[in-house]
Amino acid sequence: MFTDELLKATGNIWSGYLKQDFVKELGNGALAEEKFRFYMVQDYLYLLQYAKVFALGVVKANDEETMRYFASMVHETLDDEMNIHKTYMARLGITPEELTTTKTAFANQSYTSYMLDVSQRGDILDVLVAVLSCAWSYEMIGAELAKIPNSKEHPFYGEWIVGYTSEGYVNSVVGLKEKVNALVEEVSPARKDALTEMFVNCCKFEREFWNMSYTMDMGE
Amino acid sequence: MFTDELLKATGNIWSGYLKQDFVKELGNGALAEEKFRFYMVQDYLYLLQYAKVFALGVVKANDEETMRYFASMVHETLDDEMNIHKTYMARLGITPEELTTTKTAFANQSYTSYMLDVSQRGDILDVLVAVLSCAWSYEMIGAELAKIPNSKEHPFYGEWIVGYTSEGYVNSVVGLKEKVNALVEEVSPARKDALTEMFVNCCKFEREFWNMSYTMDMGE
Amino acid sequence: MFTDELLKATGNIWSGYLKQDFVKELGNGALAEEKFRFYMVQDYLYLLQYAKVFALGVVKANDEETMRYFASMVHETLDDEMNIHKTYMARLGITPEELTTTKTAFANQSYTSYMLDVSQRGDILDVLVAVLSCAWSYEMIGAELAKIPNSKEHPFYGEWIVGYTSEGYVNSVVGLKEKVNALVEEVSPARKDALTEMFVNCCKFEREFWNMSYTMDMGE
Amino acid sequence: MFTDELLKATGNIWSGYLKQDFVKELGNGALAEEKFRFYMVQDYLYLLQYAKVFALGVVKANDEETMRYFASMVHETLDDEMNIHKTYMARLGITPEELTTTKTAFANQSYTSYMLDVSQRGDILDVLVAVLSCAWSYEMIGAELAKIPNSKEHPFYGEWIVGYTSEGYVNSVVGLKEKVNALVEEVSPARKDALTEMFVNCCKFEREFWNMSYTMDMGE
């Protein structure tokens, strides 16, 4: 499977996520609330851009089914996934005004611009691989953190783990990987290398996103 | 209102729609079914591309509200508006296979490529003005045809008129015009001229689309 | 060769160019000067957009050599090919003001928007195939018209034929075809079909461009 | 002048360039050759993408003069500016093979993707502001380093300083700023804010590029 090759190409980056402070403390419940608050706001801004990448999938799709798939992912991102955020925001006292006035942190901006750049210049496979790293790593992290006893019952962070281990979320990642593996069969080895490099870059951006969240670094 | 100026700039094109054979015969019920069938299939292919233009609105939007607006228009196009088509398709015996194997007629292709070109190269106002001509002219045509006694009760074409005079459809066009008028206040006269020229071009494409449908011209 | 298949797919469109009034009369010298004047101005506006398609080649290129190729084609279009136009413009009394104030005819606009749309949405092969139809058909038409006795010595239209049969021009078309044939080897049959459909569409736009020029039709 | 406001908005980032180790040691000649070598290769890869941003200027231009301006900047980047690099490459023994096989460092990739993203999604002003930070900061750095006694005569780094203080280079930056200031007069305050934020982001990417070069950090 091409998606297996993608993981291999990330080297230690993929397994390293679980050792990053933010992820570890999210799992054991030790994460400072202000760090999570910072993350929530930035992730909200991230998801708006992430939805744009899915919208580019609608634009680049070559058939109706793929168009509808991406249209549903735009909807899923803006409505379902962002609902998890909205619950937390209510709890954390994050107002809509705060969301519109908070600047996008530098590492966050770099990540979403990268996905938007490759998706605008590229084709439907570029779009799919660009969004894969975020979707898949969250599923993996959710599954790993869920193994920690009582992590899903944590009064504050449990809901995050529950959300990213939900059947709906997991299935959507499975669907994404299937699409990648199906479409990649038609492309040349050089094209596969380029897609792999793109996946690795996205995985680095994920790593930096966790770092940014833990250090609450706006990149000023 | 800028949208009033847009209409003026179209000269006779706008009022001419009502004199085009396809539109006239749709209103008085004299339209040959094969012409309507041709139109339905091509309009289905058109709407898929039209949804891509709305998806570009998601990409080009500068705020969450505008993103959500365009995301809802993608949904409305792919689901609500295409539902009218699906009812007719069932009646006309148009199968999903026919839709995927029918080629896009030349005039149809020219129109959607124009909208996609200006929307890709341009900003959110380009996207809005690109989609306006189709949406608004259908509302106008619907309203005019509805004035013809019993037109909405026509066993075959009545449903088309009912669909494009529905409250939901009319409101969506009102919303579109409001967005154009609001955003255009910030732009220069030269930019307004360029937008006007684009609107006029789209109106010409609409005219050619009706011609193409009446003559069932694939443009081979 | 894939480029041979492209020609076959155009059916009669390709051979039909030589029977179009504008082309015939350009060859036998009977073309009314006002028609040629109309064509010259519109072709000037066309070439500006054509150069944009080549610029998209720079953006979509995956290696330095291809980038440099497209950068040189931007230069060739804006400088070398437009020089032929500038000589005629001086003779025909077409001022720079006239060029900036003349509107792009509808058929002309449709053609260039199509090329820009597919090139923005697509990859480097889309760009190459989008520009191929114009470049190659001019080479073919030039070569055919050059066979007419004394056509190259015609006091007015000879220069056009000389320009499009020049070694530089012919070589640049050969280079373009080689690039298409080399890159197409890596793509799937479905992709080839899509490229072929695009080439056929461009050939139709070429046909309409000649029609538009002969009838001096702005498409109002 | 809007460009003055842009500088102010960068806070300490702009003046901070002169305090970055790479820049300081480039000026006083103490820079380790291996760091400069790393920089040269990455900057070469950068310039290829930078030329793509200029090519997007050709695509987004609304008039012939602006098209020609950007076409000349593509040429200037690929030919003139890269010639400085080629001289150094010969001296440093950097082969064409090394250039094609060296990966783009993460910070480098992030920067060029950002410029390409905003330029693809935006208009001609976005393109101009995206390229401004690099062009202008090099001119400023060149001018400041040139004040250091004998810096232009340094056997290795002198040529770099000479290149970026050359009349041709300085004039091209002046031209760029003039274009920005002229076009920005027509836009709204909200648009100016967005452009300012983009400029600040690019300045941060410049800062990270110098850091990356000094630490020879591939971002693995």
Q: Residue B84 above 80 pLDDT? A: no
Distance between first and last Cα of chain C? 41
Q: How confident is the model at residue C87 (pLDDT cuts 50, 70, 90)?
A: confident
User: What is the share, in percent, of chain C residues with pLDDT greater than 70?
Assistant: 100
Task: Identify each DSSP E strand in chain A by its residue range.
Answer: none
Q: Which two three-digit tokens encode residue C12?
A: 């009669």
Q: Residue D83 above 80 pLDDT? A: no
The whole-angstrom distance between residue A102's C-alpha and the CA centroid of its chain comes to: 20
Task: Identify each DSSP E strand in C105-214 by its residue range.
Answer: none
Please report the pLDDT score of residue A109 as a whole number.
Answer: 98
CB contact under 8 A, D71 and C51: yes
Separation between Cα atoms, residue C125 and residue C122, nearest integer Å:
8
The closest CB to that of B58, out of A55, A61, A99, belongs to: A55
Mean pLDDT to the nearest integer, C5-13 = 96
Interface test with C, best of A188, A193, A195, A197 (most C CBs within 10 A): A188
The closest CB to that of D106, out of A103, A121, A204, belongs to: A204
Separation between Cα atoms, residue A149 and residue A27, nearest integer Å:
9
Q: How confident is the model at residue A83 (pLDDT cuts 50, 70, 90)?
A: confident
Rg for chain C, CA atoms, rounded: 17
Q: Residue A7 above 90 pLDDT? A: yes
Q: Residue D40 above 80 pLDDT? A: yes
DSSP letter for B148, please: S
CB contact under 8 A, C201 and B109: yes
DSSP letter for D147, please: T
Answer with the residue of higher pLDDT: B199 or A79: B199
- All domains of chain D in start order, with CATH: 2-215 (1.20.910.10)
For residue D159, what are the CA distances in angstroms to A50, C184, D84, D125, D164? 44, 43, 8, 32, 9
Separation between Cα atoms, residue D59 and residue D52, nearest integer Å:
11
**Do residues A177 and A131 make contact, with C-beta atoms less than 8 angstroms apart?**
no
Who's near B159: CB < 8 A, 6+ residues apart?
B84, B87, B88
The count of residues in chain B is: 220
CB contact under 8 A, B204 and C121: no
Task: Give the range among A134-138, C98-102, C140-144 with minimum mean pLDDT.
Answer: C98-102
Please report the pLDDT score of residue A40 as a whole number.
Answer: 95
Q: Give the Cβ contact number of residue A25 at 10 Å.
A: 16
Dihedral through CA B201, CA B202, CA B203, CA B207, nearest 10? Answer: 100
Tokens 């005039």, located at residue: B107
Q: Model's pTM, two decimal places?
A: 0.97
CB contact under 8 A, B106 and C197: no
Q: How confident is the model at residue D181 (pLDDT cuts 50, 70, 90)?
A: very high
Average pLDDT, chain A: 96
DSSP letter for B29, please: T
Q: Residue A67 above 90 pLDDT? A: yes
Chains touching chain D through at least 3 C-beta pairs below 8 angstroms are A, B, C
Q: How confident is the model at residue C84 (pLDDT cuts 50, 70, 90)?
A: confident
Active site residue B203: no
What distance in Å separates residue B21's CA from the closest CA in chain C?
A: 19
Q: Give residue-wise pLDDT tens across range B52-75.
A: 999 999 999 999 999 999 999 999
Mean pLDDT to the nearest integer, C208-216 = 98
Please report the pLDDT score of residue B161 as a whole number.
Answer: 96
Nearest-CA neighbor of C74 among C174, C159, C172, C165? C172
The closest CB to that of B71, out of A61, A75, A99, belongs to: A75
User: What is the share, in percent, of chain C residues with pLDDT greater than 90?
Assistant: 94
Please report the pLDDT score of residue D16 as a whole number.
Answer: 98
- Ordered DSSP codes for A151-188: GGG-TTTHHHHHHHTSHHHHHHHHHHHHHHHHHHTTS-
CB contact under 8 A, D121 and B190: no
For residue D79, what are the CA distances in angstroms to B58, C30, C78, D51, D85? 38, 45, 18, 10, 10
Q: How confident is the model at residue D114 (pLDDT cuts 50, 70, 90)?
A: very high
Tokens 């590229």, located at residue: A122
> What ipTM does this complex have?
0.96
Task: Give the range among A78-92, B133-147, D53-67, D185-199 with minimum mean pLDDT.
Answer: A78-92
Separation between Cα atoms, residue D8 and residue D18, nearest integer Å:
16
CB contact under 8 A, D109 and A219: no
Nearest-CA neighbor of C61 among A194, D37, D209, A71? A194
What distance in Å separates residue B46's CA from the closest CA in chain C?
A: 15
Nearest-CA neighbor of B191 among D123, A17, A189, C168? D123
Please report the pLDDT score of residue A210 as a whole number.
Answer: 98
Separation between Cα atoms, residue C69 and residue C103, nearest integer Å:
31
For residue B11, what are the CA distances in angstroms to B3, B196, C220, D47? 14, 12, 9, 49
Mean pLDDT to the nearest integer, A160-175 = 95
**Do residues B203 and B14 make contact, with C-beta atoms less than 8 angstroms apart?**
yes
Distance between first and last Cα of chain B? 41
The whole-angstrom distance between residue D10's C-alpha and the CA centroid of its chain comes to: 16
Q: Residue D15 above 80 pLDDT? A: yes
Answer with the residue of higher pLDDT: B133 or C100: B133
The residue type found at B151 is S
Active site residue C202: no
Mean pLDDT to the nearest integer, B107-135 = 98
The residue type found at B158 is G
Separation between Cα atoms, residue A173 and residue C53, nearest integer Å:
37
Separation between Cα atoms, residue A129 and residue A113, nearest integer Å:
15
Q: Residue A198 above 80 pLDDT? A: yes
Estimate the crossing angle of helix B124-146 against helix B189-215, to 10 degrees.
50
Q: Residue B85 above 90 pLDDT? A: no
Q: Residue D84 above 90 pLDDT? A: no
The residue type found at B156 is F
Q: Residue C68 above 80 pLDDT? A: yes
The residue type found at B49 is Q
Average pLDDT, chain B: 96
Interface test with A, best of B41, B52, B116 (most A CBs within 10 A): B52
Q: Give the Cβ contact number of residue D1 at 10 Å.
A: 11
Residue of C81, C134, C139, C202 with catalytic role: C134
Please report the pLDDT score of residue B86 as a whole number.
Answer: 83
Q: Is B166 helix (H, G, I), strand (E, B) or coil?
A: coil
For residue B96, what are the CA distances in angstroms to B36, B41, B90, B160? 17, 10, 10, 20
CB contact under 8 A, B64 and A48: yes
Q: Give the Cβ contact number of residue B105 at 10 Å.
A: 23
For residue C218, what are the CA distances in angstroms to B109, C150, C211? 20, 32, 11
Q: Residue B79 above 90 pLDDT? A: no
Could you give phi then psi for residue A133, rounded to 5 degrees?
-60, -45
Q: Sign of dihedral through CA atoms A76, B49, B31, B37?
A: negative
Nearest CA in chain A to D203: A220
**Do residues C24 and C213 make contact, with C-beta atoms less than 8 angstroms apart?**
no
Q: Residue C57 above 80 pLDDT? A: yes
Please report the pLDDT score of residue C55 as a whole number.
Answer: 98
The residue type found at C42 is Q
Mean pLDDT to the nearest integer, D53-81 = 94
Please report the pLDDT score of residue A85 as a whole number.
Answer: 85
Please report the pLDDT score of residue B80 as a whole number.
Answer: 79
User: What is the share, in percent, of chain B residues with pLDDT greater than 90?
Assistant: 93
Residue of A134, A202, A203, A208 with catalytic role: A134
Please report the pLDDT score of residue D79 as a whole number.
Answer: 85
Q: How confident is the model at residue D136 (pLDDT cuts 50, 70, 90)?
A: very high
Nearest-CA neighbor of C77 among C60, C62, C56, C97? C56
The secondary structure of D155-194, three-state, reads: CCCHHHHHHHCCHHHHHHHHHHHHHHHHHHCCCCHHHHHH
Q: Residue C72 above 80 pLDDT? A: yes
